[in-house]
A and B are shown apart, each in its own frame.
Chain A
């Protein structure tokens, strides 16, 4: 599979970078569309109950109003539509009077201009029969039940109780993480219209093919009756992986009013009605011998869900593979509450799970009197500790050692609260992490043009990460030609089945399809058009433990008088397979690390304890790390190669996010001597009297 032209591995700026910085790039809400109507969404203000009435007469004569769709007049949707977890009630918008959470869309007001639609939506009287709600999450909640096991199912290897009893040191602690929101810069937007029985849409999403498939089911159409395009996307972080309310509502309104309809969510609506990471409450027990060898890890996370849709926040993924413990037990509890249905967000499961595992490992090192780095090195597994499978490649130790060298870890005094700069306490911490790697089936076509160029067509999406640029390099190398001869077509459901930009598997899945197509085209002497689908070759991939790895090192300052914890330095060493484009890969993992920093110190969806409503649904109240919070961040890669996958690629999408919060929390402990077991590390949690 190795080629000689060498576009892969070269740092190149984004192909569309100039278009983006000059404003020429068009996002979903920018595409000029004749005869366009605008829809403004109205959301439920109660946490549970039923719609009593929607008084359309109050707004139908307002300027520009074309109509209002709501539960009594909306087109009917197919209740079988869903995703991984089966039918998804979140998709069943405006189908009945039931209010399952505050923020559920209850109506779409459609008008000639955006301003008219918003004015009428604000004036639309919606009344409710309110019912008692429950939004108070805790692991002990009586409604808690085992999570579904479609992935990250429970494991029980060895005798956990006996190993804990035999351990010289046991850490048993409970950790909590709050609701967090994806907060992509571009709000969700869709423009939909019907051409006869065919639905056309421009939508901001992470994978037009999977979105088209969902829309086809929802509207009882065949797949070729749905055409979704997604030229540029301003981030998703998981929230655009699902079929969004903007697209469903725009398609419904376009059907009803027989004109193109654009629906763009406001920032508050993105918070209230798209996707969030659920709050978690996690109990973990780790037992070790006096020399630091792990005997047992028992990890029991609970997370909140909505009864509308199954979901797994797979917090125990790392627990099963990161360390060689004699006994490992995991199980996940789901607690159904009247909340926005949780969904994948920036390293789902692994991120809150790693905060717990890597904080507890730090606590273990503390109690053993052992260097936290040394503790990790002593528990490096030879094979998957639960699966027994070999690792396809495992470069965690290289990340830890090189990161420690660059960070200056060997000079660290491991005792807490010893370093001061005036009123400030200074501390350092680390975390080891992994994120599962692999690929999903995708199709690709390549056409050799008479002028010597190639049209490479694949249903990929560029979320802003540089996928377009990376895939161009991949195609060039696979065809053994220069990148200037590659014309890439992406972001269109008509290009055939393709995995979405998600799960750190976009580039890997798409590269695989492009590599196979290129090989086939070379076999036929660079003539004609070839189309491939990787389902078969993916199925032939041997079962192995396949992960990307990293080690994160953090330095913080803490003012104990004010509780302000501030990051000073963050260093990540990554093993993500072959690096396709060092410039963009670095940008990607740094972005992930900033996400982790933001999780550690800032992000928290807050609910009113009385109404159950989210009360900080804006960027003034929901704090994300701002520029001044982001200090000197260093990220680099150790040499790595993934053997079973064409071009040796693993994913880099989410690994930067994993582990960062634990490294920072461990640094705050090192600074202050106090463990932070609840995120974010708010100043009131750190403040000393």
Chain B
């Protein structure tokens, strides 16, 4: 690991000044520190923002919840109002990592965790995300777990967060601070399309510090569900995952997929298809097929199209039941 300077921030403004000067923010460190050990990341300065006063979950005026960025994943998953009103979010967080990691990981850091693509994780390999212009060995190489939706010829990596999949289904908004003031971005627009700039992953302005995630007062049924399919029963990233719920008043569905794209994939096409009211398995299947007609699998991951379709149908049936 390259030597670096470390400082614990106790004041938001000091942190922002450091951040705008090129320092990196450190939350739980469960991903960034690993990447530093392997030489994938090599920041000169880390500003530990964990002690800043953002932890906790509180009600918002419109009936939603505000989740402070330094809230741990464990505390988020265990929160009674999250479990009651946004069950898919609690389930998603609990499906991720391990108990030890969830105790350390923070909500803000989780949104910024990097892909688990093996080529990205190995500095002796080419990777357009790590070293723009160096190439993407995954396209012709090993891509069993790579993206089938929204990928580009430059990158086929998937986004690893389970939490973000549920958040995007619930129309969550990311709130951040810069030296210029407060900003907000809907999570669906927070993650950028891959295009020819896979190294640019989020729309967060330079130096900005995530302070909270805001969940709108939602009509989504408390019967929302997160289901994660993976190669072993715990401690593995999603092969394909889904957060789905039914809107109580409109009778339409919210669907977001994980493990299929460079970002949590809001399945708008399927949702639109179901606007008339989700009722039968056939209709769920047609909605899934409509969504996945845009899929462009690589030679080694076509199975994910079948899996994603089966999963959409199974979970919609479950929340509809």
Contacts and interface: CB of A to CB of B under 8 A. Distances in A.
B116 interface: yes
B231 A606 contact: no
A118 interface: yes
B232 A606 contact: no
Contacts, number: 85
Contacts of B236: 623, 626
Contacts of A626: 232-236
B141 interface: yes
A356 B3 CA distance: 51
A610 interface: yes
B15 to A, nearest CB: 27
Interface string A556-591: 000001111010000000000000000000000000
Contacts of B124: 45
A109 B118 CA distance: 25
A609 B141 contact: yes
A687 interface: yes
A689 interface: yes
A564 B229 contact: yes
Nearest to B124: A45
A562 B307 contact: yes
B1 A118 contact: yes
A392 to B, nearest CB: 40
Interface in B130-152: 137, 140-142, 144
Nearest to B141: A608
**Binding site of B, secondary structure by majority: helix, strand, loop or mixed?**
loop
A420 to B, nearest CB: 14
B122 to A, nearest CB: 8
Interface bin, chain A: 35 or more
B261 to A, nearest CB: 18
A144 to B, nearest CB: 25
A611 B234 contact: no
A119 to B, nearest CB: 7
Contacts of B237: 620
A615 B143 CA distance: 10
Contacts of B231: 602, 623, 682-683
A625 interface: yes
Interface in B194-250: 229, 231-237, 239
A46 B121 CA distance: 17
A119 B1 contact: yes
B306 interface: yes
A423 interface: yes
B114 to A, nearest CB: 12
A69 B280 CA distance: 69
A95 interface: no
A639 interface: no
B229 A562 contact: yes
A122 interface: yes
A616 B119 CA distance: 10
Interface string A446-460: 000000000000000
A682 B118 CA distance: 19
B187 interface: no
Contact of B137 (A602, A611, A625, A683): A611
Interface of B: 1-3, 39, 116, 118-119, 121-125, 137, 140-142, 144, 229, 231-237, 239, 303, 306-307, 310-311, 313-314
Given A609-B142, A610-B141, 17 more contacts: A115-B1, A119-B2, A423-B314, A561-B314, A562-B311, A606-B142, A607-B142, A611-B125, A611-B141, A615-B122, A615-B141, A621-B116, A623-B236, A625-B232, A626-B232, A683-B231, A684-B303
User: Nearest 10 pairs between A and B by C-beta?
Assistant: A628-B233, A628-B234, A684-B303, A561-B310, A608-B141, A615-B118, A45-B124, A562-B229, A626-B235, A629-B233
